[in-house]
């Protein structure tokens, strides 16, 4: 078994394994260190012996033992009775072989912990990206456009607050779910987004994270039935994920929406997503943001081809979305939809105005959208420069290859 294969297993299993270790050892830092120790042990043992039948249970079991070893070393070094008690509790309460069924709600508990109301929204997101999605501190820092040291300090303070304030690692009682729902849904969508289009690396998608986010949304829907925002989010993720098989080639290159083979799309997921969209939009009150986004995804799912897509209605839905949940990213998506209705020149004007306001400073997809519009307008030199800027801004290799192909296509024409 190669180190790359082991790294993929670890990446796929790390989020849920860490969630369980946090529950078992009761400390974020100890659980993270223990999981890294377990991964190091896997790199030593699995190349010759192969991966176990249940890699996640193996990582948790070895990680638990590594946590106990760390506590013992701390006891020997510091001689603290409290740590001795911690070790005894660990040995008394942890199962030797955690079963797969025991993992089911650990990620949900971790997300509710990360989304405790005492944390600011950006801290909730950062903690989730680090613990559930398995991003490095540097990757999380890049997402927030801050230095790695600043993000490390932010995460450290959050974990210290969890420990010192005794924030419980649990799904709260039903009457306490409401205040956390917005943050929980936001971070579940972030988990999905990282699975749908990874932040960095060789692979476009991480299906494990996308499926995990959908599973978590189903759990939340069961906990809080009849909520339009939950059904809207679940619909949105199902409709996006339904296109997974058509989004990349066998070699891992991106297949853009206009070139996707729609026969590869998952029709069962589309059917479920469309029903959920209708339910979400029928809920009383004004439409929720996730429901409107899902309605946009539904229009793509219903279209028999790219040319038959109802772009005018999509642009109109983005205008609705801008009224109920304005953001620079939604403005950028609206401009892309407008380009299909009124042409790329009009969309470029919208993006120029958005950029002049500083709304998308540092957003890596901005130069990519600009490059595409410039290419469609025949402004090759400007398009090439924008594609090069987009290449420098991304750490995702399939995107870099896509931009290189676009430049090569322009050079051939």
Task: Give buried/exposed letters for 28-51 (b at 16+ CB in 10 A, else e).
Answer: bebbbbbbebbbebbeebbeeeeb
- Give every CB contact of residue 223 below 8 A, 6+ residues apart in sequence: 171, 174, 177
Measured CA to CA, the distance from residue 201 to residue 395 in angstroms comes to: 6
Measured CA to CA, the distance from residue 362 to residue 345 in angstroms comes to: 23
Q: Which long-range contacts (CB under 8 A, 24 or more apart) does 98-104 make?
A: 98/20, 98/57, 98/60, 98/61, 99/57, 100/54, 100/56, 100/57, 102/20, 103/16, 103/19, 103/20, 103/56
Measured CA to CA, the distance from residue 408 to residue 383 in angstroms comes to: 12
Residues forming beta bridges with residue 396, ordered by sequence position: 201
Write the CA distances from 327 to 107, 154, 287, 361, integer angstroms: 29, 24, 17, 13
Give me the tens of pLDDT residue by residue for the chain, a chain 413 residues long. Answer: 888 888 888 888 888 899 889 888 888 888 899 999 999 999 999 998 899 999 999 999 999 988 888 877 766 555 555 554 455 444 444 443 444 433 347 888 888 888 888 888 888 888 888 888 777 888 788 777 788 999 999 999 998 888 888 888 877 777 777 778 888 898 889 889 988 998 888 999 989 889 888 988 998 888 888 899 999 999 999 999 999 999 999 999 999 999 999 999 999 999 999 999 999 999 988 889 999 999 999 999 999 999 999 999 999 999 999 999 999 999 999 999 999 999 999 999 999 999 888 878 778 899 999 999 999 999 999 999 999 999 999 989 999 999 999 999 998 87
Record the pTM. Answer: 0.79
Angle in degrees, 0-180, between the axes of helices 148-164 and 137-144, rounded to the nearest 10: 110
Measured CA to CA, the distance from residue 217 to residue 323 in angstroms comes to: 25
The phi, psi pair for 155, rounded to 5°, reads -70, -40
Tell me the torsion sign for CA atoms 404, 300, 196, 323. positive
CB 365 within 8 A of CB 343: no
Write the CA distances from 209 to 17, 197, 205, 264, integer angstroms: 13, 10, 9, 21
Residues forming beta bridges with residue 395, ordered by sequence position: 200
SS3 255: coil
């Amino acid at each position: 078994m190669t180190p790359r294969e082991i790294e993929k297993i670890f990446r796929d299993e790390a989020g849920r394994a860490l969630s369980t270790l946090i529950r078992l050892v009761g400390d974020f830092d100890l659980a993270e260190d223990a999981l890294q120790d377990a991964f190091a042990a896997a790199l030593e043992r699995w190349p010759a012996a192969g991966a176990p039948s249940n890699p996640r249970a193996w990582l948790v079991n070895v990680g638990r033992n590594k946590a106990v070893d760390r506590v013992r070393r701390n006891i020997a070094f510091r001689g603290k009775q409290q740590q001795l008690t911690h070790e005894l509790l660990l040995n008394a309460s942890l199962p030797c072989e955690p079963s797969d069924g025991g993992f089911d709600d650990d990620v949900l508990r971790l997300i509710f912990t990360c989304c405790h109301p005492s944390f600011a929204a950006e801290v909730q997101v950062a903690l989730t990206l680090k613990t559930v999605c398995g991003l490095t501190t540097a990757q999380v820092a890049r997402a927030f456009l801050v230095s790695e040291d600043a993000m490390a300090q932010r995460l450290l303070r959050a974990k210290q607050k969890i420990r010192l304030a005794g924030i419980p690692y649990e799904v709260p009682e039903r009457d306490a779910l409401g205040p956390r729902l917005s943050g929980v849904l936001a971070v579940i969508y972030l988990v999905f987004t990282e699975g749908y289009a990874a932040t960095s690396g060789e692979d476009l998608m991480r299906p494990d994270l996308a499926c995990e986010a959908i599973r978590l949304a189903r759990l939340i829907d069961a906990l809080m039935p009849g909520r339009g925002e939950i059904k809207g989010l679940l619909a949105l993720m199902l409709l996006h994920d339904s296109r997974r098989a058509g989004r990349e080639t066998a070699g891992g290159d991106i297949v853009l929406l206009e070139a996707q083979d729609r026969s590869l799309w998952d029709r069962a997921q589309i059917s479920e997503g469309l029903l959920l969209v209708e339910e979400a939009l029928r809920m009383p009150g004004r439409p929720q943001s996730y429901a409107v986004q899902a309605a946009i995804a539904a229009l793509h799912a219903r279209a028999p081809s790219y040319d038959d897509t109802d772009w005018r209605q999509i642009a109109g839905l983005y205008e609705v979305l801008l009224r109920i949940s304005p953001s620079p990213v939604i403005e950028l998506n609206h401009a892309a939809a407008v380009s299909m209705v009124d042409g790329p020149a009009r969309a470029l004007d919208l993006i120029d105005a958005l950029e002049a306001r500083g709304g998308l400073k540092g957003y890596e997809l901005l130069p990519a959208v600009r490059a595409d519009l410039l290419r469609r307008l025949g402004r090759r030199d400007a398009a090439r420069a924008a594609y090069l800027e987009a290449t420098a801004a991304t750490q995702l290799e399939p995107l870099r290859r896509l931009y290189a192909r676009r430049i090569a296509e322009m050079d051939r024409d």
